[in-house]
Structure 1
Amino acid sequence: TKKAKYKRVKIPKGVRKNQALQVRNEGYLRPDGTRGKLVFKVNELKHALFEREGDNLRTTVNISLKDALLGFENKKLFTHLDGRKVAVTQEPGYTIRPNSQRRLKGEGMPVYGSQTNAFGDMIIHFQVEW
C-alpha cells in the first residue's frame, strides 16, 4: 500500500510555470537502498491584479480623463506581490493616451537563478475612463 507523504520544499524566487524542480533523496527507494530524486513541476495561480509574462508583470491602472490630461501624483497606488506599496505618478503637462503603457524597471518578478538579484519589469497599461 502507498502512504501519503508530505514534504516542505523551498521554491526558489522567480521559478516559472511548468518548471521542473528536484529534491535529492526524496524519491522512490532503489534496489540498492538509496533514494532517487523527487521531481515536480511548479504551477502558478492566477492573480487578481497581475499577469506574469516571463520575468515581467503586467497590470492595468484605470485613470480618469482629467488625470490623463492634467497628470496626477501618488493617486494610483497598488500593492506589489511582495507587499510594498507602488505609486504611479504622471507629471502635469504630459498626456497619457488611452491604452498607453509605462514600464517600471525592476518592479517585476525575480529572475530565476540570477546572481545579481535581477528583477523583470512592471508593465502598466493605462485604461482611460471617459
Structure 2
Amino acid sequence: GGFGGGIGDVFGGLFNRGGAGTTRTQPRRGQDIESEVTLSFTEAIEGATVPLRMSSQQPCKACSGTGDKNGTPRVCPTCVGTGQVARGSGGGFSLTDPCPDCKGRGLIAEHPCGECKGSGRAKSSRTMQVRIPAGVTDGQRIRLRGKGAPGERGGPAGDLYVMVHVDTHPVFGRKDDNLTVTVPVTFAEAALGGEVRVPTLGGPPVTLKLPPGTPNGRTMRARGKGAFRKDGTRGDLLVTVEVSVPKDVTGNARDALEAYREATAGEDPRAELFQAAKGA
C-alpha cells in the first residue's frame, strides 16, 4: 500500500511542522491487494461475477485500529503525528520518508495491543463478489479501484488487482476480438457450393453460403458473433473450412469418384508447382 497524496503533502508536511495544531495524524491509504481467478472460455467472453477470497491487513478489531490496548495511543514525537520525516536531497530541497519510529502511522502505542503488537493492523480474510467484464483475455490484469484493504484514519481504500486466467474451449478459439472455429465440409460442398450451418458461442447456429470451388482452409466471416469489445460491440466469428476426406469409400460413392477421376484425368493440380520450382 502507498501513503497517498502528492507533492502538496510533501511540502505541506515540511512547512507546517512544529507549529500549533500540527499534531493531527494524517489519513493513510489502504494496501493494494492482488488476486487471481480462472474463468471458463464462455465466462471470459460474456463476463461473470465470481467470488474471491482475499487476505489483507485491516484495522485490528481488538484495539479498533489504534494499536493501543486501552485505545489511547499518543502522537509520535519524532514525526509530530504526520507519519513522515524529512531528509535532505541537496539543492535546498527536502523530501520525506515514512517515520521509522511509528512506521508511518503517526501514532505510538504506550500499551501495545496483544493482537496486533501495536501496529493497529491485523490480517483478515474476506470473500468478495467481483464482476469480471465481458471480453477479458487470458493473462489480463484488471484493476478495481477502492476494492483493496481499507485505509486508516479516514484514508481511501487501496485497489484490487485481479489476474485473469481463461480455460480453452473444445470448439472455439480466439484471435483479438474475434472468435475462431474450424468447420468440416464434404468434397461435394466445397466443389459445388452449398449452405453450411455453423455453431456460435452461446447462441443459435448461423448459416453461411459456401461458393462453388471453395478451397480447403478458406476463412469466412460471421459478423457480430465474436467477443465483446470495450464499447459493447462484438467482433466476428472467423470460420475456417476444412474439407473432410472419408476413410472408406464404397458402393455408388466409389463408382462416382472413379468416374470423376477418369473425367478429370487430363488435369494436373501440381503443374504450376513444378513450373514455379524450375523458375526458382
Deviation at 1:82, TM superposition (A): 2.8
Match of 2:214 among 84, 90, 96: 96
Residues 68-123 of structure 1, C-alpha deviations (whole Å, 9 max, x = no match): 112222x4231x223232223325xx221111111223221111x21xx3222211
Change (3 A) 1:22 1:63: same
Which runs of no fewer than 5 residues in structure 2 stay unpaired? 1-121, 246-280
Instruction: Report the equivalent of 1:129.
Output: 244
Determine whether 1:41 maps to 2:159: no
Q: Which has the higher contact order (CA 8 A, sep 6+)?
A: 1
Change (3 A) 1:72 1:28: same
Change (3 A) 1:18 1:58: same
Instruction: Report the equivalent of 2:130.
Output: 9
Q: TM-score, normalised by structure 1?
A: 0.79
Residues 14-33 of structure 1, C-alpha deviations (whole Å, 9 max, x = no match): 22222222223321233435
Match of 1:21 among 117, 121, 142: 142
Q: Distance in 1 between matches of 2:147 and 2:189?
A: 56
Aligned residues: 123
Structure number with the higher helix fraction is 2
Instruction: Report the equivalent of 2:197.
Output: 76
Which runs of no fewer than 5 residues in structure 1 stay unpaired? none
Match of 1:63 among 153, 160, 185: 185
Deviation at 1:3, TM superposition (A): 5.0
**What fraction of aligned residue pairs are identical, expressed as a percent?**
28
CA RMSD of aligned residues (A): 2.1
Which shifted more, 80-89 or 96-105?
Answer: 80-89
Q: TM-score, normalised by structure 2?
A: 0.40
